[in-house]
Amino acid sequence: MSSKPRVLVTRHLPPKVEARLGRDYDARLNPEDRLYGTEELLKLAEGCDALLGCPTDKLNADTIQRLPASIKALATFSVGHEHIDLAACKARNIAVSNTPDVLTDATADIAMLLMLAAARRAHEGEKLVREKRWGSWAPTGMLGTHVTGKRLGIVGMGRIGQAVAKRARAFDMQILYSNRSRLKPELEQGAAYFADPDDMLPQCDFLSLHCPATPETVKFLNAARIARLPDGAIVVNTARGAVVDDAALIAALTSGKLAAAGLDVFDGEPKVNPGYLPLENAFLLPHVGSATHDTRDAMGMRCLDNLDAFFAGRAMPHRVA
């Protein structure tokens, strides 16, 4: 019998991460990358000491309560942890860790990609070329929204929000932000702070969402808040789909109240509200904020650093519960 801790790894992970898992753990891998339903996950977890999971695992209170008593730690391959009932983990004395920092740059890059793509009508232009419908260059063809010098409002000025601000400054954008607390001047770097996001919205040519999905932020961007944005504003979401009221956003994109939106995350993903699909002014990506080779390797290593610490009796460096 192996003396290494036994870990159920719910998804197929990058090769370097699985190699380290194989070296240091008795790892129950998922090479076919099947999505486990709750019952299958619970069965596979039998006899395991820890779980290395992903946002695709819905670890609600009921599932946590039903996990085998042998499970003592849970490392999520994500910075977001809204898919895990942390209170239930605490009640069961299961230590939970996440993967902050290492996905900041990759996610901020995708926010910029969405912003530029939405502003410059990348989806429409791409289609035009691929479908051989591109007639000729035209002085008035494919005109989009100018980015340089515009005002960017950031909701949630944590690590990723700050990384987006840094990139946007290179585009000479003015940075406005709303956050639970005001940043220190050295982090704020001249950005204008709004304690109440509703006061910021009328001044945002672009709005980028970076707040976690919590009961307070669900459907944050609703019809009333969209109405406060200037006409022709552009919205970007790399946070969580749940912070947007899809019906309101679709209505605003359809009416022209908003010029465009760039979305990497969706409420109920991988299902996407069908109202987005015909919209030429919606640039849509399948939750690839952290999807670079380097970032996904680093996320996996971070999960293992946390599990290593836990099983060595040390504090997990990124413990969230």
Q: How far is CA 193 from the centre of its chain?
A: 23
Q: For residue 73, which of 297, 302, 298, 316 has the smallest C-alpha distance?
A: 316
Residue 242: what are its φ and ψ, rounded to 5°? Answer: -65, -20
Residue 50: what are its φ and ψ, rounded to 5°? Answer: -150, 165
Catalytic residue among 287, 296, 302, 318: 287
Contacts of 176 by beta carbon, 8 Å cutoff, 6+ apart? 151, 152, 153, 154, 191, 192, 194, 200, 203, 204
Does the footprint of ligand DGY cover residue 51 (CB under 6 A)? no
Nearer to ligand DGY, 177 or 266 (CB): 266
Does the footprint of ligand DGY cover residue 80 (CB under 6 A)? yes
Sheet with 73-76: list strands edge to edge: 26-28, 6-9, 50-53, 73-76, 95-97
Scan residues 278-307 and list those touching ligand DGY (CB under 6 A).
289-290
Tell the smallest beta-carbon distance from residue 101 to ligand DGY (Å): 11
Nearer to ligand DGY, 151 or 296 (CB): 296
How many binding residues for ligand DGY (CB under 6 A)? 7
Can you tell me which of 71, 73, 103, 122 binds ligand DGY, judged by CB under 6 A?
A: 103
Tell the smallest beta-carbon distance from residue 77 to ligand DGY (Å): 7
β-partners of residue 193 are 177
Alpha carbons 303 and 74: distance in angstroms, whole number: 9
Which pairs count as long-range contacts for 54-59, CB under 8 Å and 24+ apart, including other chains? 54/10, 54/11, 54/78, 55/80, 55/82, 55/83, 56/10, 56/11, 56/83, 57/10, 57/83, 58/83, 59/83, 59/84, 59/85
185 C-beta neighbours (distance < 10 Å), count: 9
Nearer to ligand DGY, 63 or 238 (CB): 238
Tell the smallest beta-carbon distance from residue 290 to ligand DGY (Å): 3
81 carries an active-site annotation: no
Pick the stretch among 75-83, 116-124, 224-232, 270-278 that binds ligand DGY (CB under 6 A). 75-83
Nearer to ligand DGY, 5 or 158 (CB): 158
Tell the smallest beta-carbon distance from residue 141 to ligand DGY (Å): 35
Catalytic residue among 240, 296, 302, 318: 240
Alpha carbons 177 and 213: distance in angstroms, whole number: 18
123 carries an active-site annotation: no
Pick the stretch among 13-21, 77-85, 126-134, 270-278 that binds ligand DGY (CB under 6 A). 77-85
Does the footprint of ligand DGY cover residue 78 (CB under 6 A)? yes
Does the footprint of ligand DGY cover residue 208 (CB under 6 A)? no
Nearer to ligand DGY, 75 or 103 (CB): 103
For residues 288 and 110, the answer to whether their CB atoms sit within 8 Å is: yes
Tell the smallest beta-carbon distance from residue 92 to ligand DGY (Å): 22
Please report, in angstroms and rounded to a whole number, the separation of the first and last CA atoms in the chain.
31
92 carries an active-site annotation: no
Does the footprint of ligand DGY cover residue 79 (CB under 6 A)? yes
Nearer to ligand DGY, 145 or 306 (CB): 306
Alpha carbons 320 and 233: distance in angstroms, whole number: 36
Interacting residue ranges for ligand DGY, rule: CB under 6 A: 55, 78-80, 103, 289-290
Active site residues: 240, 269, 287
